[in-house]
Structure formats: structure tokens, C-alpha cells
Structure 1
Amino acid sequence: MEITKWYLEQDSPGQIRPAREPATAAPIIRAEVPSPELSRYLYTAVGGDWHWTDRLPWTWPQWQDYLDQPGVETWIAYRHGTPAGYIELDGHEPGLVEIAYFGLLPQFTGQGLGGHLLTTGLRHAWSLPERHPGHPPVQRVVVDTCSLDGPAALVNYQARGMRLYRTETIPYHQAATPGPWPGAAKDL
């Protein structure tokens, strides 16, 4: 099996094309205390159906070491007090912020929340030095997505003003999604 991988970027905060606000309030709050348990929960709850597997073997100390890096931030969207999705920013490399992970829990898709969360996340990516004194100015925000991700992923990135700069086709060998917990796998 082969998948297509798309790489997108912005090189100015002026390139953000905001999504409209969702009809129902959806506060987006930064998780200011690095929490491996919370981050792993979000990773598996959002990515379990989309073949996110690279971090499944991480130990608690690996999660903590990653989250403790300056410039790594997790922003969580809530709907009526329930986590609905998240965006993880990785700004540990000077001048660059990568959207490491982004997505919604399944029951919150199709409600206009993804565009709102991505708009907010992009704004936070560009303003990262304001929250991390001594961090150099951001010159570029990047993300990659692939044909295994949610069907709205690429469209949402482009609609928010990110532009495609590279596409590649790569082999892929996993047949089933891992699901958000052991035994919850389902093929999409």
C-alpha cells in the first residue's frame, strides 16, 4: 500500500485565513502543565482512527522529556467542558514551529470546530515567542498530513492559508488502525 504525504507551510502570520467561529462556544485553552497522561490521551483519542502510531511505544519519561522542551505547547478545544480536540505546537527549533499533531475526537467532527481550532493554533504558533521569553521570532509554521488522515485535514490546512510545498508517495504497511485503546481498532 502507498500513501500520499503533503507538506504545507506559512511564512507570515498575515497568511492566516480565519475560519468562522463555531455556532456553539468552544474555548481553546493551553495545557500549561506538561502532562504525559493528558497528551497521550489526546494523541490516542484523536489519532487512533487515523493510523497515528509513532508515539504509541513512548514511555512516560519520553512523553515528559518531549513536553518539557521550550516551545512545545498543547492547546485543547472544549465543548461543554469536554475535550473536543487539540493542536500540539513544536517550536523547539529556532524560527520554526511545527504543528506536530492536530485533530478532533470523532464525535466533534463536522461541527465547524476544526477550522476554528486550526485558526487559533496558527495564531498561537506565530505568537509563541510572546509566551517563551528569549525564543527567536517565528519565521515559518509547517505541518504535514497524509492520505490516511481525516478527509478534511488537507482542505482545512489550505483553507486556513497554508500552502503546499512538497508532495511525496511512500510505502505504508499497517493494515488496520490501532483505535484509541487496545481492542478498539476499526478499519475506515
Structure 2
Amino acid sequence: MAQDRFSLNPSIIPSSAIPMAVPPGCLSVIVTYLEMTTPPTHAPLPRPAGDVALVRSNPPTASFYRYLYDTVGEPWLWHERRRMPMPELGVIVTDSRVEVWVLYVHGTPAGYAEIDRREADTDLAYFGLIPDFIGLGLGPWLLDTAIRLAWQGGTKRLLVNTCTFDHPKALPLYQSMGFVPIRHVTREILDPRVQGWLPRTAGPHIPIIE
């Protein structure tokens, strides 16, 4: 999931979605929700050069999924599933309606996309690259391919969300693929680094308020 700078202009974002002052140990985050109501009409992006493969883990073990989630998400303060008990996480990721597509580069996991079909609308629940593979041109192809996979199977509407903790190119990338922002929400959360859920070195672009 990844992760933003569509309309972070106070004249465009509703007043309810402006970053707010927070007490020590907390963070303010703007979450942008986006939708796509029709499948992409542009030609598929070409597969990156080299030994690149996208393989569905069918199903992944909870421990392998946790490795992907933790490694992809640590720079962006992903923490919800890091805190989730393994049995509970396993129920989600082994559900036949949840698809975990793993990107491999020369046999090494490089990122993943998670497509969740458990609700009426299909959700691109998580998407991202392992830090070693950021900046190699893999992200657009992975996202484009994940979107096309998500539209298979009778999808009527595809959802995704990103936030101001995520990579600054995440939101523009989603929009370039056809997603349209539908709302912004500001939330106050406990800083997962202060709580000990993530190392204090995680998310160095996000100051710790103490």
C-alpha cells in the first residue's frame, strides 16, 4: 500500500483534510482515496528488461507475507499488519478472494501488489517495492499489470488509497494510471516508531514529535 502529492494545496483540499498540530508521540496524516470506474484503455506497459516476473503466491504463508509487508512498508510507516497476530493475518492472506502478486527480479522478491475482492468493490489494498528496487523503473509496470489483473473477474469499481507518509510519486503515479481522487481525510495516529511497532529509523522523511 504502500503511498502523494495530488492536491496538497490548501485551496483545493477541504479544510477537514489539512495537516493538524498533534501532541507528542502522534502524527497527522492525510489519506487520499481514489477510484477507477472503467478498465484502462491504454496499451499495457512493456515488461522491464531482464529477468522480471510477476507471480501469484497462491496462497502465501503468513510469514512470507509479513516479510513482504515489513520490507516494502517500513520506509513508509506501514504498521497495521506488522502488529496483527500471525493467525489473524493468515486468515486474510490465504482467503481465496485475496490475491498477492509478487514481483521477482532475477529470482529475488522485489515488491508486491495485493488485490482484495472480499467486498463489492475491488481494492488494490497494498502496492510497493522493496527499497533496493526503487528507482529502477519497475513501479509503473507493476502497477499497470496489477490494475489489469484487478479488472479481471467482474470488477465494477477499483479502489486504492495513499497517504502523505508514502513515496511522493505514489499519488501522481496512481492518477497517471487512471485513478481519480474522491476524498481526502486527515487522521491523527500514534507514531508507530514511538510505540515500538517500527524501528525509530523507519520513515526518516517523517519527523518524530516528542
Whether TM-score is above 0.5 comes out as yes
Q: Does 1:113 align with 2:130?
A: no
Larger deviation, residues 175-184 vs 66-75: 175-184
CA distance in 1, matches of 2:190, 2:57: 34
- Secondary structure of 1:172 counterpart: strand
Structure 2 unaligned regions, length at least 5? 1-26, 206-210
Instruction: Report Cα offsets for 1:20-53 as digits up to 9, x if no partner.
Output: 4323342111001231011100000000111101
CA 1:16–1:61 in structure 2 vs 1: closer, same or farther (change >3 Å)? farther
Match of 2:179 in 1: 162
CA distance in 2, matches of 1:108, 1:180: 24
Q: Which has the higher helix share?
A: 1
Structure 1 unaligned regions, length at least 5? 130-136
Q: Does 1:88 align with 2:81?
A: no
Match of 2:15 in 1: none
CA distance in 2, matches of 1:181, 1:70: 30
Match of 2:11 in 1: none
What is the CA distance between 1:59 and its match in structure 2?
1.7
Q: 1:98 pairs with 123, 146, 151, which one? A: 123
CA distance in 2, matches of 1:157, 1:52: 18
What is the CA distance between 1:15 and its match in structure 2?
5.2
Query: TM-score if structure 2 supplies the norm length?
Result: 0.76
Larger-gyration structure (1/2): 2
Query: TM-score if structure 1 supplies the norm length?
Result: 0.85
Match of 2:49 in 1: 23
What is the CA distance between 1:115 and its match in structure 2?
0.5
Contact 2:34 2:181 in 1 (8 A): yes
Match of 2:103 in 1: 77
Tell me the amino acid that sits aligned with residue 109 of structure 1. I
Match of 1:47 in 2: 73
Q: Does 1:171 align with 2:183?
A: no
CA distance in 2, matches of 1:176, 1:15: 42
Instruction: Report Cα offsets for 1:110-140 as digits up to 9, x if no partner.
Output: 111001000111111111x2xxxxxxx2111
Tell me the amino acid that sits aligned with residue 56 of structure 1. R
What is the CA distance between 1:186 and its match in structure 2?
5.5
CA 1:17–1:175 in structure 2 vs 1: closer, same or farther (change >3 Å)? farther
Q: Once superposed, what is the RMSD of the aligned Cα atoms?
A: 2.5
